[in-house]
Structure 1
Amino acid sequence: MGKIAASIYLSFDGVMEEPGLWHMPYWDDEMADFQREVFYPSDALLLGRITYEGFAAAWPKIKGEGADEMNAMPKYVVTTKLEEPEWNATFIKNNIIEEVTKLKQGTDRQYLIYGSGQLIRTLMDHNLIDEYHFMVHPVVLGKGKRFFMDQNQTNLKLLRAKTTTKGVLLLTYQASE
């Protein structure tokens, strides 16, 4: 059975919106190592439309570590608006839960979700996320889209916790029953 892992940048008050505006002062080698540990075992990306559009606009222009792998990796994109898949993408347009369940079945692939809050919350409510990688930043934003919004209860088991020298909590949880 395949596995879905979600990687999420969060402010201390749970905001996930526009991390590019607040997360970079906290980026360091410890966070880079954490991201490598999440990214490199992954076989494909599973993304919402907004995250996909941002990534597809940026990543093909990026050079350096991980860029070739990111660009070559298959992408499964949940969208009802986009029509022409690019950047090695396949669109999931209908029956999201059914289609994502099919992706997981009959494979040992790991699918990685970056950002894509609505997608993660939808999959979370159907117990389709296996692992969560939270990077909780020591900043209170006070406004913005929060990650946790009207979810069904989800129990998690802490697998790993580390605090970077800049105060970011690097947390890995496994979904539990």
Structure 2
Amino acid sequence: MGKLTVSMYVTLDGVMEEPSWTAAYWDDELAQFQLNQLYSNDALLLGRVTYDGFAATWPTAEDEHGFADRMNEIPKYVVSHTLKRTEWNARLINHDFVDEIKRLKKTGQRLLVYGSAELIDTLIEHDLVDELHLMTFPLLLGEGKKLFRDGVAPKAFKLLTSFSTDQGVLIANYAPER
């Protein structure tokens, strides 16, 4: 059976969108965590908005650690009801995406979700998330899109591991109680 991991940057007040605020807290520990996480998965699972942003940025990005190369080469699945086609090594999932994700997991694929808050809510609702990796930044933004919408279905999680970086980012990995 495959595994679906959600990886998310979040502020102390739960904001997750437009993460330009992460730059001030970026360090080698956080970079290594992200690199290890990306290389330990087989494919990305993205919502349309995240896909659009990534596809506009990553194809021309370069770095010395191989993160950009991996972002460009890793297969991607994009969940969208509005996109007509994808590029950037991506496959569109536009019908019965819950069933398609279940099928992908049954094939043994390790899927990594970045961004895509609405998709994450649905994945949690259908008990498809196996791990939740939250990188909590010591910052309050006061407004912005929250990681979880009001009214999300209650779900208990257990802490698997946690550590903090020298810049104060708390990295906590959770698994749902099943």
TM-score of the pair, normalised by structure 2: 0.95
1:7 aligns with 2:7: yes
* Post-superposition offset of 1:154: 1.4
Structure 1: segments with no counterpart, 5+ residues: none
Range with bigger deviation, 142-151 or 128-137:
142-151
Q: Which runs of 4+ in 1 moved over 2 A?
A: none
Instruction: Specify the alignment match of 2:16 in structure 1.
Output: 16
* Post-superposition offset of 1:48: 0.2
* Post-superposition offset of 1:81: 1.3
Q: Say which SS state the counterpart of residue 87 (structure 1) adopts.
A: coil
Q: Deviations over 1:154-173 (max 9, x none)?
A: 11111111111111101111
Structure 2: segments with no counterpart, 5+ residues: none
Instruction: Specify the alignment match of 2:25 in structure 1.
Output: 26
Instruction: Specify the alignment match of 2:163 in structure 1.
Output: 162
1:35 aligns with 2:42: no
* Post-superposition offset of 1:174: 1.3
Q: Deviations over 1:101-158 (max 9, x none)?
A: 11111x2221000011111111011110101110000001111111122211111111
Instruction: Specify the alignment match of 1:113 in structure 2.
Output: 113
Contact kept? 2:86, 2:92, Cα under 8 Å: yes
Equivalent residue letter for 1:2? G
1:176 aligns with 2:168: no
Q: Deviations over 1:18-65 (max 9, x none)?
A: 112x11100101111211221111000000000001111111101222
Q: Percent identity?
A: 48
TM-score of the pair, normalised by structure 1: 0.95
Equivalent residue letter for 1:71? N
1:21-170 aligned at under 5 Å gives the runs 22-64=21-63, 65-105=66-106, 107-149=107-149, 150-170=151-171
Contact kept? 2:38, 2:70, Cα under 8 Å: no
> Number of aligned pairs?
175
Q: Say which SS state the counterpart of residue 53 (structure 1) adopts.
A: helix
Range with bigger deviation, 3-12 or 160-169:
160-169
Contact kept? 2:45, 2:76, Cα under 8 Å: yes
